[in-house]
Amino acid sequence: MALVLPLALAQFIASYAATNMNVAITSIARSLGTTVVGMQTTITLFTLTMASLMIPGSKLTTIWGRKRCFMAGLIVYGIGAVLALLAQGLGLMIFGYSFLEGIGSALFIPPVYILVTVAFPDMKTRAKYFGVISGAGGLGAAAGPLIGGLVTSTISWRASFGLQVLVVAWIIVLARRIDDPPRRGPAPGFDVGGAVLSAAGLFFVVLGVLRSSTYGWFTARKNVEIAGTVVIQKGGISPIWIPIGIGVVILAWFFLHLRRRERRGAEPLLRLHLFASKVANLGLSTQFVQWLALQGSFFITSVFLQDVWHYSAIQTGLMLVPAIAGILLTSAAAGRLARRRPQATLIVAGFAITAAGSGLLLALVGKNSGVWSFVPGLFLFGAGIGVMLTSSVNVVQSAFGEADQGDISGLSRSVSNLGSSFGTALAGSILVGATAVGAHPYALAVLTLLIITLLGLVAAIFLRRTPPASPVPAAAPASVSTRR
C-alpha cells in the first residue's frame, strides 16, 4: 500500500476537482464579482487544459521518470489550488484552477497507471490495485458535488481549495516512499512539434464538444455573434463543427508528423504501433463509452434532482450515494473477480449491469416517483461501472510492454477525458434540445446514454472474442536506450 495509497489519493483529487466546482459556481461568481458564465468558462478551460496536455504529460514520464513527473505534477497542482484559494478576481482563478491545476493533473495522472502496471506484472494482482485506484476515481467524481456542496455551504468555497491543498501535501509526503528505479541510459528526446499538434487538436475537438450544450449538435439554437455581428443565425448549422473540424485536421497532421519522425528514426510523441493492437483499440473504445455513460448519467441525475425535485446541492450529492456504493463495492472486489474471470468477460458483465441500471432509472424514476425509485438503478449503474473501469484499464495497459507504458497511459487517459467531455456535453445538449421541442428531456437523455452503453457492450463482446496478444516492447531508435 506504500505505492498504491498516494496513487489512489491522486486519482481521487483529480476526479474531485473535475466535479466539485459545479455546485459552487454561484457562490464563487458572487465572491469574485464575476458571472456564472465566467465560472462556467473557468471549468471548461480546466477540462480543456487537462485533456489537451495528457499525452505530452505522459511522455514526460519517459524523460523525467515516473516518480519525478508524479511529484512535479502534484506541486504544480498544489500551487494552482493555493492561487485559486487566494483569488480575488476571475483572472487569478483561471490561472490557478484552469491552467495550473489542469497542467498538474496532466503530469501526475499518467504515472498513476504506469507505476501500478510496472510494479505488478501479474494481471490478476494488478487488477486488485487498479480496482483501488478506479474506486478512488469514481468516488471523487461522484462525491465531488456532495463534498463541495457541504464545504461551500458550511464554510466557504475557498475551503474546498484548501482541502485540495491539504490532500496534495499529504500525497507528496506519502509519495516520497515510492520506489521507482532510475532509467538506464540517456533520456529520449521530447517531440515538441508532436506535443503542440496533439494538444491543439484535442483542445479544439473538446472545445467544440463542450459548446454543443449551448448551440446544439446540428442546428444552432441561437444566433452566433462575433463583435456584435451575427455570423450564423438561429436554425443554421451549429458552430461547434468549426472547432471540431479544425481539431480533426490538426490531429490528422499530428499522425502524419508521427509517421515522418518514425521514418527518420527520431523519437515521436506516440508510437504508431499503439494503434495496431486490436485488443488495445477495443479496450480504449470501452473506456470512452464508460466515462461517457458515467459523467453523462451523473449530469442528468443532478440536473433532474435540482430542476424537477428542487433539491439542494447537498441533497443531490446524497442521492448519488447508491452509485458511489456500487462503484466502491465492485472496485474493491476487482482482484477477486480477476482471479475467477477473464478481464474481457468482466467488461461485458459490467456493461450489461450498467445497462440494467440505466433501464431501471428509465422505468422507475419520474416527477412524482419518490426517493427510493433512484436507489436500485443507481446502485446497479455504479456496480457495473466499477467492474468495467478497472478491467478496461487493465486490458489496455497490459497490451503493451514497459517501454510503451508512458505512451499508452497518456493515450488511455486522453480517451477517458474525451469520453467524460462527450458525456456531459451530450447529456446537456439533449436536455436543452428536448425541452425546446416539448419532449421528455430526462427520459430521452437516459435512453440515449442507454443506447450508447449497449454499443459499448457490443465492443466488449468483440474484445472478449479477440485473443490477447503478448505485449512486445517497442523498438527504440538507435540513439535511445531502453528504460530500466
Residue 50 within a domain: yes
Query: Residue 333 sits in a domain of what CATH number?
Result: 1.20.1250.20
Q: Is the pTM of this model over 0.85?
A: no
Distance CA 185, CA 427 (A): 48
The least confident of 182-186, 191-195, 210-214, 353-357 is: 182-186
Last residue of a domain, one of 266, 291, 316: 266
Are 352 and 438 members of one domain?
Answer: yes
Distance CA 399, CA 278 (A): 9
Are 231 and 367 members of one domain?
Answer: no
How do residues 304-313 score in pLDDT, each as one tens digit?
A: 887 788 887 6
Supply the pLDDT for residue 183. 67
Residue 479 within a domain: no
**Domain count for the chain:** 2
Supply the pLDDT for residue 285. 92
Are 206 and 341 members of one domain?
Answer: no
Are 128 and 16 members of one domain?
Answer: yes
Domain span holding position 129: 4-179+267-465
Distance CA 400, CA 407 (A): 10
Q: Is 44 exposed, middle or buried (0-12, 13-18, 19+ CB in 10 A)?
A: middle
Are 260 and 291 members of one domain?
Answer: no
Residue 484 within a domain: no
Q: Note whether 478 and 467 are within 8 A (CB).
A: no
Last residue of a domain, one of 225, 248, 266: 266
Which of 190, 364, 182, 378 has its CA nearest to residue 293? 378
Residue 220 within a domain: yes
Last residue of a domain, one of 238, 266, 294: 266
Q: Note whether 311 and 439 are within 8 A (CB).
A: no
Supply the pLDDT for residue 378. 93
DSSP state of 480: S
Are 208 and 288 members of one domain?
Answer: no
Question: Is residue 445 scored above 70 in pLDDT?
Answer: yes
Are 213 and 141 members of one domain?
Answer: no
Grid coordinates standing for 187? Answer: 533520456
Residue 307 within a domain: yes
Average pLDDT over residues 433-461: 83
Are 252 and 274 members of one domain?
Answer: no
Are 246 and 294 members of one domain?
Answer: no
Are 66 and 164 members of one domain?
Answer: yes
Residues in a beta bridge with 230: 225
Residue 323 within a domain: yes
Residue 283 within a domain: yes
Torsion of the alpha carbons at 14, 343, 424 and 133, rounded to the nearest 10 = -10
Give the DSSP per-residue string, 214-257.
HH-SSB-SS-EEETTEEEE-TTSB-TTHHHHHHHHHHHHHHHHH
Supply the pLDDT for residue 288. 92
479 pLDDT band, cuts 50/70/90, is very low
Are 356 and 220 members of one domain?
Answer: no
448 φ, ψ to 5°? Answer: -60, -45
Are 28 and 60 members of one domain?
Answer: yes
Grid coordinates standing for 10? Answer: 491522486
Residue 389 within a domain: yes
